[in-house]
Amino acid sequence: MRRSSLPLLRCPRCRRGPLLAESDGEAIHFGPARCASCAAVYPIAEGILDLAGGETRPRRSLAQWLMESTVVARAYERSVRPFFAGLDAESEQLLLRALLAPQAGEAILDLSCGSGIHACRMAHDTGELRVLGLDRSAPMLHEAAHHLTEAGTTVDLIRGEAADLPFGDASLDAVLNVASLHLYPDPAAVLRQVARVLVPGGRLVCATLLPERLQPLDRLEARAGVHRYDETTLRSLCESAGLQRFERIRLAPWIVFRAERA
């Protein structure tokens, strides 16, 4: 966690802030961050700022339970992700980067970054970006921290909730959200949060799963916590959240869309 990234954050308890670190220096590996408004204390360990605390959702879906297991997090990039990916890793990175069009000096959030595959690559390839990664899963974030150390690059890693983003209003230039929207119990709430934290004209690039042709399969998946949305629904969720200029590419079973904060 970089000290200079703390002003982008707000306290998840009082929704104000600012969050202040107690230790000196730009790179904070351990030590608490404290809310200057309500005095809530949040730990930073191995560079990961935990804004979700010990709280776990009372009814976590099976899919999200798996995402929060150490076994799945360790196997995710090598064995799980390639199985579901629509494109090879290189083509996927190029497509997402082209749609996101990051500019030097911008603050970019990889929302539900998982093991950090995109955040890590973006920070590594485009040195002048401020890249942040947020996820609920502590084991996934530990994987991300490990990959970042190996790559010798920096991403601010935050444990937090997508439906209650711990960032200030209009604090980010772009949000990337890959392979995660279908896991959220309330995607409308997440998109509203994305619109809130984006600057006017800020971009969202999102890749999620389209419905299967076989509806019983979708129903089965929904019971495990995977909810697929068609293009019309996604477009209307974006519009309702205040995200306009919806454009999309269909790479069935995936849809990759881009929208901008009004």
Q: Which residues would be at the binding site for ligand SAM (CB under 6 A)?
A: 64, 67, 81, 112-114, 117-118, 135-137, 140, 161-163, 178-180, 183-184
Residue number with CB closer to ligand SAM (34 or 181): 181
Residue number with CB closer to ligand SAM (31 or 138): 138
Residue number with CB closer to ligand SAM (187 or 202): 187
Residue number with CB closer to ligand SAM (34 or 179): 179
Minimum CB–partner distance for residue 244 and ligand SAM (Å): 24
Minimum CB–partner distance for residue 23 and ligand SAM (Å): 26
Residue number with CB closer to ligand SAM (117 or 205): 117
Minimum CB–partner distance for residue 25 and ligand SAM (Å): 28
**What is the distance of C-alpha 41 from the center of its chain?**
22
Minimum CB–partner distance for residue 96 and ligand SAM (Å): 9
Minimum CB–partner distance for residue 14 and ligand SAM (Å): 20
**What is the distance of C-alpha 164 from the center of its chain?**
12
